[in-house]
Amino acid sequence: MISLIFYFLIFQLSVSYVPELSENLKMVEVYGTPKESSGIFRMPTQENWLDCLYKCLATWNCVLVSQLPDGCEYFNTQEIKSVTRLTSSHGRVVAFKISLTDCPPVPQTPPLFGNVSSTLIITDGSDNYYKSEITETSDTWNFNYSIHKCLTDIPENYTPMVHHGEPYSMRLTSPFAPGETFFMTGKTPAYGNRFSISFYREGTGGGNNAYALRYRISNGFEDQTNTEISTWFNQTTEIKRDGNLRNPYAPLQDFEIRVNSTDTVANIYLNSTLLQYTLDPRVPLTDMTQIVINFGGYAGLNVTLYYIGWTGDCWYEPLV
C-alpha cells in the first residue's frame, strides 16, 4: 500500500555509512628521529619505554612515539610530518603505530615492510573518522593526514549538470541502507513527456536484473499525468505496482527529489509532497548497485538534471 502525505517540516538528513576502522594494531620500532613536528608533549621521566609503547597503542590518535633518555614523546595526528631515517649507530628509536594482520616477511624493512604505504583509519568515538598514511623516501618517513567526509545534502553552490533526456547512471559504492539519502534537482520535461528514477541491480547472465524501486512521473504522456511506483524482479517480471498517484509537478518546473528509507518503507519526497512505498523483501533496496535516470530508453523519457548525489558519496579530505 502507498500513502500520500503533505509535510511542512524541515527534512532531516542522516548518514549511515562509516569507514572500516584499522585493526590488528602494533607498535613497530625503527631507528629514527622526528624531523618536522608541532605540539610535542614530553612524557614524565618515570615512564619507561615499554609503558610508552603501550600508551601510544591505547591512545586512539597517537601515531608515533619517540624514545628519549629520560622518557618519551608522543605524536598524535597532525603533530608529526616526517621522521628522519637513522642507523643503529645513532641509538635513536621511534615506534610507528601500524596495522599488521600477519607477521611480515623477515627480509622486508620496517615499518612499511615492502609496501608503498601504510594506512590507519581511526575515530575519536563520534562521527569523525581520520586517515593517517605513512610513505617513505630514501632518508625519511612521511605522514599525511585526512578526514573522512560524505555528502550530507545538496551543495549550496554546485555547478549545474544541464543533462537532458538520455539515461544517466550513478553507481552506489556502498549499500543504500536505512539512513542514506538520495537527492536530485532538475527541471521537469515539457507536456507530453515523462521521466523515471530506478534503484537498479544489474545481474549476471541476464537473469538477475532487478528494480527495488522504480518511479515514473508523467506530465501528459499518453494523456496521463500521474506518478507510478513499481518493483521488478527482473526486466520482465513486475511483482508490485502502485499506479495513478498524484504528480505534484507542472511541466517545465524546477524540482527537488529526495529518497530515503526504513527497513520496510521507501520515503520519496517530491518537493513538499511525500510518497511512502512499502518495499518488497524479495528485492531489497540494499542490494541495488545503481540509481539510473530514464533507464531503458522508453518513449517519452526526458528530463533536465541539475544535480544528482547521495549521502554514500564519501572521500578523504586532506588536513593541513
Give strand pairing partners of 259: 182, 268
Residue, of 47 and 122, whose pLDDT is higher: 122
- pLDDT over 50 (residue 8): no
Give strand pairing partners of 304: 164, 187
Q: Please, which pLDDT band fits residue 9 given cuts at 50, 70 and 90?
A: very low
- pLDDT over 60 (residue 126): yes
- 201 near 208, Cβ under 8 Å? yes
Q: Please, which pLDDT band fits residue 127 given cuts at 50, 70 and 90?
A: confident
Tell me, what's the pLDDT at 320? 80
- 75 near 55, Cβ under 8 Å? no
Give the domains, in start order, of the chain with CATH numbers: 25-149 (no CATH), 152-315 (2.60.120.200)
The alpha carbon of 293 is separated from its chain's Cα centroid by a whole number of angstroms, namely: 21
The candidate with the shortest Cα–Cα distance to 7, out of 258, 278, 242, is 258
Q: Please, which pLDDT band fits residue 2 given cuts at 50, 70 and 90?
A: very low
Full-model pTM: 0.78
In degrees, to the nearest 5, what angle opens at C-alpha 33 toward C-alphas 28 and 35? Answer: 120
Give one DSSP letter per residue of 156-182, joined into a string: TTPPP--EESS-EEEE-SS---TT--E
- What is the mean predicted confidence (pLDDT) over 132-159? 96
- What is the mean predicted confidence (pLDDT) over 84-99? 96
The candidate with the shortest Cα–Cα distance to 273, out of 4, 9, 3, 12, is 4
Q: Please, which pLDDT band fits residue 7 given cuts at 50, 70 and 90?
A: very low
C-alpha to C-alpha distance for 65 and 227, rounded to whole angstroms = 61
Q: What percent of the chain has pLDDT over 70?
A: 90
Average pLDDT of the chain, as a whole number: 89
Residues 6+ apart with CB under 8 A from 256: 154, 183, 184, 185, 269, 271
Tell me, what's the pLDDT at 110? 93
Q: Please, which pLDDT band fits residue 3 given cuts at 50, 70 and 90?
A: very low
Q: Which amino acid is at 303?
A: V
Q: In a 3-state reduction of DSSP, which class is residue 131?
A: strand
Q: What percent of the chain has pLDDT over 90?
A: 75
Tell me, what's the pLDDT at 46? 65
The alpha carbon of 10 is separated from its chain's Cα centroid by a whole number of angstroms, namely: 24
The candidate with the shortest Cα–Cα distance to 98, out of 53, 129, 50, 47, is 53
Q: pLDDT tens for residues 29-87?
A: 999 999 976 655 555 556 899 999 999 999 999 999 999 988 899 999 999 999 999 99
Give strand pairing partners of 25: 99
The candidate with the shortest Cα–Cα distance to 133, out of 111, 102, 106, 108, is 111
- 314 near 148, Cβ under 8 Å? yes
C-alpha to C-alpha distance for 292 and 171, rounded to whole angstroms = 8
Q: pLDDT tens for residues 205-235?
A: 556 789 999 999 999 999 999 999 999 987 7
C-alpha to C-alpha distance for 129 and 132, rounded to whole angstroms = 10
